[in-house]
Chain A
Amino acid sequence: MLLSPALAISAVLFTLGVAGVLLRRNAIVIFMCVELMLNAVNLTFVALAQILGMGGQVFVFFVMAVAAAEAAVGLAIILAVYRHKQSVSLQNMNLLKDG
């Protein structure tokens, strides 16, 4: 049965995505790490769909649609920020920080 290896790989991929978000400062790379986390969850959905029914595969559909929408809007926001600040580093985005 492939369920437990799939869940193990999915857990590691999700953790790597979280580690990437914590590790990087480049907004686009952080965005790619979020996509990695979404994919790890997709793997869980597909693995569990084998024993819990096709609903899991349908949900992968919805996750992909949301990820596509998120990528389009998020990259547009990054473009707008870059036009404003000439940088995509999160270090330079401290408008709401005090002092």
Chain B
Amino acid sequence: MLLTFFWIFGVIAMGSALLCITRKNPIACALWLVVTLFALAALFVLLDAQFIAVLQVLVYAGAIMVLFLFVIMLLNLGRPGPTDIKGPVGVLAAVVLAGALLLQLRVLSAAQLPSSIQLPAGTVAALQQQQGMVAAVANPLFNAYLVPFEIASVLLLAAIVGAVVLAKRKL
């Protein structure tokens, strides 16, 4: 049952990703990407990462894609025009290179993880049961990963300042 739902949402994600890279209109691309992001949020729920799934909808499908649509509409790119997809040679090169990459990734994901680094089955589920969904993520975030967390806040500050400097005509 779980596996069936997983494949349903997986196929939705892959199909809408394919539509996203083949639609001519950038707004259609953005909307198909939103469908992919929602399907990925469903996959996160099925993988016992409910909090990450909520963040995926709020941050990705909400904030980031709205930013993309804003820029597309600001630049008035939605109007019909010549396609931006490359010619037959470019398509062939893209398909061949992507196929080679897919083959490599399949070989890589077939590798067995050494059992010494794996947790006993059910450890993460038990942790989430015991601490709750949010606390199970927050505990490592604010203990073991505190320094990266602070660095991320500096990165976001730099991004805000950089975006203002780049997008403003005159300071």
Minimum C-beta distance from B47 to chain A (A): 5
B10 CB contacts on chain A under 8 angstroms:
5-6, 8-9
**Chain A 1-47 interface residues, beta-carbon cutoff 8 Å to B:** 2, 4-20, 22-26, 28-29, 31-33, 35-36, 39, 42-43, 46-47
Minimum C-beta distance from B48 to chain A (A): 6
Contacting pair A71 B68 (CB below 8 A)? yes
Contacting pair A36 B17 (CB below 8 A)? yes
B148 CB contacts on chain A under 8 angstroms:
62
B33 CB contacts on chain A under 8 angstroms:
32, 35-36
**Chain B 67-120 interface residues, beta-carbon cutoff 8 Å to A:** 67-68, 71-72, 74-75, 77, 84-86, 90-91, 93-95, 97-99, 101-102, 105-106, 108-109, 113, 117-119
Candidates B77, B105, B106; contact of A26 at CB < 8 Å: B77
| Chain A facing B: main interface SS | helix
**Chain A 32-69 interface residues, beta-carbon cutoff 8 Å to B:** 32-33, 35-36, 39, 42-43, 46-47, 49-55, 57-58, 60-62, 64-69
- Name the residue of chain A whose CB is nearest to the CB of B86: A23
State whether A39 and B40 are in contact (beta carbons under 8 Å apart), knowing that A5-B7, A54-B137, A58-B145 are contacts in the complex. yes
Contacting pair A75 B71 (CB below 8 A)? yes
Contacting pair B21 A55 (CB below 8 A)? no
- B binding-site residues for A, Cβ under 8 Å: 2-3, 6-7, 10, 13-14, 17-18, 20-22, 26, 29-30, 33, 36-37, 40, 43-44, 46-49, 51-52, 55-56, 59-60, 63-64, 67-68, 71-72, 74-75, 77, 84-86, 90-91, 93-95, 97-99, 101-102, 105-106, 108-109, 113, 117-119, 121, 123-124, 127, 136-137, 139-141, 144-145, 148, 152, 155-156, 158-160, 162-164, 166-167, 169
- A binding-site residues for B, Cβ under 8 Å: 2, 4-20, 22-26, 28-29, 31-33, 35-36, 39, 42-43, 46-47, 49-55, 57-58, 60-62, 64-73, 75-80, 82-83, 88-89
